[in-house]
Amino acid sequence: MTGRVETRQARGAGRSRTHKPAVVMFHHARFNSMEQLAVVARRGGATTVLVTCTPTGRLGRLSDCLLYRKRIYLSAPSEMASIAACLSDIVVADVQATEDMASAIPDSVLEALPQAIAADVRQRRHYSDKAAMARLAAEHGVRIPRQIPVASVRPERAIAELGLPLVVKSRVGASGRGVVVASTETEVRDAIAVLGPPEMQYYERYIRGRLTAYSAIVSASGIVQEVTCQSVRQSADPTFPPIGHEVIEDSELTDIGRIVCAAAGLRGPINMQTIKDEDGNHWLIDVNLRPFGTMLAFDQTVLDTAAAYLVAVGLTEELVMHRSPPIGLRVTLFPDDAEELVKAGRRAASIWCYVRRSASFWSMFGLRYPAFFVLSRLARKVGI
- How large a percentage of the chain has pLDDT more than 70? 95
pLDDT of residue 11: 37
* CATH level 2 (architecture), domain 210-333: 2-Layer Sandwich (3.30)
> Confidence band (pLDDT; 50, 70, 90) for 8?
low
3-state secondary structure at position 371: helix
Of the ranges 83-92, 150-159, 227-236, the best mean pLDDT one: 150-159
| CB distance 183 to 164 below 8 Å | yes
> Confidence band (pLDDT; 50, 70, 90) for 349?
very high
Least confident piece of the model among 30-34, 200-204, 256-260, 315-319: 30-34
HSE-CB of 315 using CA atoms within 13 angstroms: 29
> Confidence band (pLDDT; 50, 70, 90) for 16?
very low
> What is the residue extent of each domain of the chain?
4-128, 146-205, 210-333
Question: What CATH number labels 4-128?
Answer: 3.40.50
Rounded CA-CA distance 287/137 in Å is 10
pLDDT, one tens digit per residue, over 141-199 is 999 999 999 999 999 999 999 999 999 999 998 767 899 999 999 999 999 999 999 99
Nearest to 109 by CA among 138, 79, 139: 79
Rounded CA-CA distance 369/364 in Å is 9
Q: Are both 146-205 and 210-333 of the same fold?
A: no
Rounded CA-CA distance 74/109 in Å is 14
pLDDT higher than 90, residue 344 = no
* CATH level 2 (architecture), domain 146-205: 2-Layer Sandwich (3.30)
Q: What are phi and psi of 162, to 5 degrees?
A: -110, -15
pLDDT higher than 90, residue 78 = no
| CB distance 91 to 97 below 8 Å | no
pLDDT higher than 70, residue 74 = yes
> Confidence band (pLDDT; 50, 70, 90) for 13?
very low
- How large a percentage of the chain has pLDDT more than 90? 79
> Confidence band (pLDDT; 50, 70, 90) for 240?
confident
